[in-house]
Amino acid sequence: MLSGASARADERDLYMFAQWAGDHETRAFREMLVDARLYGVVPIAQLLRSASDWRLCSAQPFAVAPAAQWPAVRSTLQLLKTLGEKGILKRYEVVSAYRDPRLNRCAGGAIGSAHTRAFAVDVLLPSWADPTPLCQFWQSEGKAWNMGLGRYPSGRIHIDTAGFRTWGGDFSSGSSFCAVPVDKAQSK
């Protein structure tokens, strides 16, 4: 995980999380993570971050996904755990995870976004990190994981287990940083 003031995506830090968590129920969600042996894969204060535009949208800075989506939470966290264990995704910061549909609309999220209907994370990598191993994993094992992998113009990387697909800056598969160049695809 990234740490330090320079790596912080926004002001949603541990102090703000502690204030928010004092007024919101997170115990059942945390227990589910512990039972699944996934607690700590992502720090809870990051895992519960809603959209980065929460303030602009008059929404909460953090949110717990509905219990019906917890199987997707487990699946996506298991993927992140595997990526970490393989050394593919070592240092990152989750800047957005579950979003309620109203916040997703306000924040400009896609209709039917995995952030609202399943579970997805948007992560920031350190500026020096090479995302190529993430693409290689998506190309070789992504289908088995039902992995969605996208990269936005901001540099954020979206990861979910809600469907095997990839996209890039214009939200099409052709602009994906993981798209196989046509000449390589034809030579196989």
CATH number of the domain that residue 147 is part of = 3.30.1380.10
Provide the pLDDT for residue 181: 53
Q: How many domains does the chain have?
A: 1
The domain in which residue 177 lies consists of 5-186
Distance CA 158, CA 167 (A): 9
- Tens of pLDDT, residues 79-99: 999 999 999 998 999 999 999
Provide the pLDDT for residue 149: 95
Positions in the chain short of pLDDT 70: 1-10, 180-188
Q: Are 31 and 37 in contact (CB under 8 A)?
A: no
Distance CA 72, CA 77 (A): 8
For residue 25, give every residue at least 6 positions away whose Cβ sits within 8 Å of its Cβ, in sequence order, or none: 64
Provide the pLDDT for residue 110: 82
Tokens of 4: 């330090």
Provide the mean pLDDT of the chain: 87
Q: Are 83 and 89 in contact (CB under 8 A)?
A: yes
Provide the pLDDT for residue 169: 76
Provide the pLDDT for residue 10: 66
Helix (H), strand (E) at residue 95? strand 93-96
